[in-house]
Structure 1
Amino acid sequence: MPITVIIPTRLRSLTNQQKRIAIEGVKVSEVIERMEQQYPGIRAKLIFDGSAYHFINIYVNDNDIRLHDGLATNLQDGDIVTILPALTAD
């Protein structure tokens, strides 16, 4: 069973307007690399120099990866990875 990744509205132009994608991977970093293969340009919107941008929040089953192992956080079949850009006040 693959990992489900929930894509925020801001990044859906890179995923052919898909809100959710199913992808294989055992670590968050691997999921992002596989997403990059299918949807070129998405990695640059999420990570820089081996870490998630400070304005991008990534959760695995509602748990912030920054409180665990970051991009090295392990995944299991059926996990849900949620990508949330930080909100900004205009």
Structure 2
Amino acid sequence: MAVTVKIPTQLRAATDGDATASVHGSTVGEVLDALYDRYGELRSRIAEDGGLRRFVNVYVGGEDIRFLDG
């Protein structure tokens, strides 16, 4: 499934200035992997110890994924 990811201003240096990215993925993990494949520097900015850094918030349909089941 294709999804559109909004890139915050603070991370756009790692995405060649792109404000959005359209990638394919059925899970948040697949979407992140697709973003990392496209923007190699992004991983070092948001990932840490096999997960996301504490300051990184991910929303699906406007809901913070930390509070969603699954």
Do structure 1's residue 6 and structure 2's residue 29 form an aligned pair? Answer: no
Q: Distance in 1 between matches of 2:47 and 2:65?
A: 13
Q: Distance in 2 between matches of 1:48 and 1:37?
A: 17
Matched with 1:34 is: 34
For structure 2, the 5+ residue unaligned runs are none
* TM-score, length of structure 1 as denominator length: 0.69
How many percent identity over aligned positions? 36
Matched with 2:16 is: 16
Matched with 1:45 is: 45
Matched with 1:57 is: 57
For structure 1, the 5+ residue unaligned runs are 74-90
Matched with 1:67 is: 67
Q: How many residues are treated as equivalent by the alignment? A: 70
Q: Could you say what the CA RMSD is over the residues aligned between the two structures, in angstroms?
A: 1.5
* TM-score, length of structure 2 as denominator length: 0.86
Higher helix share: 2
> After TM superposition, what 4+ stretches of structure 1 lie above 4 angstroms from structure 2?
none
Three-state SS of the structure 2 residue aligned to 1:23 is: strand
1:13 offset after TM fit, Å? 1.1
